[in-house]
Amino acid sequence: MPQRLWKRCMEFKMKTETGKFETYYIDKKTGTAHKGACSEQFQTFLNEGTLLVKNNESLNNLPPVPGLLSYREDNKILYVNKGNIWDAIGSKKEIQNLEKNINVEFQNLKDRLKKIEGRLMTLLVKNNESLNNLPPVPGLLSYREDNKILYVNKGNIWDAIGSKKEIQNLEKNINVEFQNLKDRLKKIEGRFNGIYSIRPAAGKLFQVYCDMETHGGGWTLVYSYTFTNYNSFTSGSNAVTPRPNWPAWRANVPISTTPPLSESSLGAVDWNLWKNIGKVLMVKSNINDWIVCQPNGGSLVTKTRASMSCQNIKNVATACSGVAPKIIYWSYYGPVLSGPSAFYYFDGNTDTNYPTHDPCGKK
């Protein structure tokens, strides 16, 4: 049967100078006397003690005093009263789990101790002959002075630790694993939109923004623009700005050769490098439908007027769903994707025309 967890509070009475008796209790921690009764200071002590009962029936006949402890002889389990129920303390399942955890922890400690002992027991020997004269104790460490190699005993042999060959193999494995990790990281990074470094052809390395999600991913942002007079979209003063350094000798908006590093920033990659980046074109817009165009004679990366195989990949405008341009041609002000009329017109002149963005390709 479990022992009591608490001791009773001790109290006594003392006669004062006036002849009255006052009650004092002993502080069990400090041993000093304080005025007052135990029942006033230590209410929890009212429920102290452990009651011994034979079975569950006897347990349920006890008064429902919260905190009261009772020990059942039949199942050898200690219970605590929680008002309307008796809660088991130290049930069989809890004890089994505790034993399991203790055994695991004990084994871990034994393993750690074994490793520590192995590190402490390193015997210094002069040569191979001295090494072989040592007792064959598995795990025993020995260091040979002649070849400066550490050995571990494996019963019938002494195995070298840190030999030249092993170190070379280790370095090789580390290099291979490091390269594998770099390759995996590269693949993982390649799945997300963001800034990447590219080196088109034999040019210099520079950063660009890549869309790795839209229409299969792998798109390099080469041009991002706004308008000079969006509120009067069809006026002659409206144009795209900035513009790439593509052929447009009558365009008068600023030229940019600074790559835009996000879809919200403005700029353009040097147009002369576009052909080294890719030939398939995707145009995304917040006012017109998104398109993807394969060169079919015509090209935006070279000044070539001819047909293109385009498809509408996202309807943004409400009119003419699914329409896509069929041809590209170059005006004095900038390139035009048309079908049958202008679909995207990258007009770069603020004196005449306007930058058509028409989902129907008619205006």
Confidence of residue 169 (pLDDT cuts 50, 70, 90): low
> Could you tell me if 211 and 318 lie in one domain?
yes
pLDDT beyond 90 at 224: yes
Please, what is the average pLDDT of the chain?
79
The residue with greater pLDDT, 25 or 52, is: 52
Q: What pLDDT, in 10s, does the model give residues 306-351?
A: 999 999 999 998 888 888 999 999 999 999 999 877 899 999 999 9
The three-class DSSP label of residue 106 is: helix
pLDDT in tens, 201-220: 777 899 999 888 888 888 99
Under DSSP, the state recorded for 299 is B
The per-residue pLDDT for range 330-339, each reduced to its tens digit, is: 999 999 999 8
What's residue 336's pLDDT?
94
Q: Is residue 296 one of the residues assigned to a domain?
A: yes
pLDDT at position 156 = 85
Tokens standing for residue 342: 């202008």
Query: Would you say residue 362 lies in a domain?
Result: no
**Tens of pLDDT along 187-197?**
555 567 888 88
The long-range contacts involving 320-329, CB below 8 angstroms and separated by at least 24 positions, are 320/359, 320/360, 320/361, 321/289, 321/359, 323/289, 323/359, 323/360, 323/361, 324/289, 324/291, 324/293, 325/291, 325/293, 325/361, 327/298, 328/293, 328/298, 328/299, 328/300, 328/304, 329/298, 329/305
Q: Are residues 207 and 290 in the same domain?
A: yes
Do residues 80 and 177 share a domain? no
Q: 158, 188, 218 — which closes off a domain?
A: 188
Mind listing the pLDDT tens digit for each residue in 232-271? 999 999 999 999 999 999 999 999 999 999 999 999 999 9
What DSSP letter does each residue of 161-206 carry, written as one string?
A: ES-HHHHHHHHHHHHHHHHHHHHHHHHHHTTS-EEEEE--TTS--E
Q: What are phi and psi of 116, to 5 degrees?
A: -65, -45
Res 187: pLDDT:
59
Domain residues for the domain of 276 are 196-345
Are 222 and 322 contained in the same domain? yes
Q: Which pLDDT value is given to residue 101?
A: 63
Domain assignment present for residue 360? The answer is no
What digits encode the pLDDT tens for the residues 46-57? 333 467 788 888
Judge whether 351 lies within some domain.
no
Task: Mark whether 283 and 207 lie in a shared domain.
Answer: yes
The reported pLDDT for the residue numbered 90 is 57
207 and 336, same domain (yes or no): yes
Tally of domains in the chain: 3
Select from 88, 119, 137 the last residue of a domain. 88
- What are the pLDDT digits (tens) for 114-141? 555 455 457 788 898 988 888 888 878 8
User: Is residue 304 in some structural domain?
Assistant: yes
Same-domain status, 108 and 60 = no
- State pLDDT tens for residues 90-120: 555 555 555 566 566 666 665 655 555 455 4
Q: Given 188, 209, 225, which residue is the final one in a domain?
A: 188
Do 135 and 217 share a structural domain?
Answer: no
Q: Which of 145-149, 170-174, 263-267 has the largest mean confidence?
A: 263-267
Q: Mean per-residue pLDDT for 275-292?
A: 92
Does residue 244 share a domain with residue 181? no
Are residues 292 and 209 located together in one domain of the fold?
A: yes
- CA-based nearest residue to 358, from 222, 244, 233: 233
CA torsion, ordered 265, 271, 272, 278, to nearest 10 deg: 80
Q: Report the run of H or E that residue 294 belongs to, with start and end.
A: strand 290-295
Residue 177 pLDDT grade (very low, low, confident, very high; cuts 50, 70, 90): low
Distance of CA 178 to the CA centre of its chain: 21
Could you tell me if 201 and 324 lie in one domain? Answer: yes
**pLDDT band at 174; cut points 50, 70, 90:** low
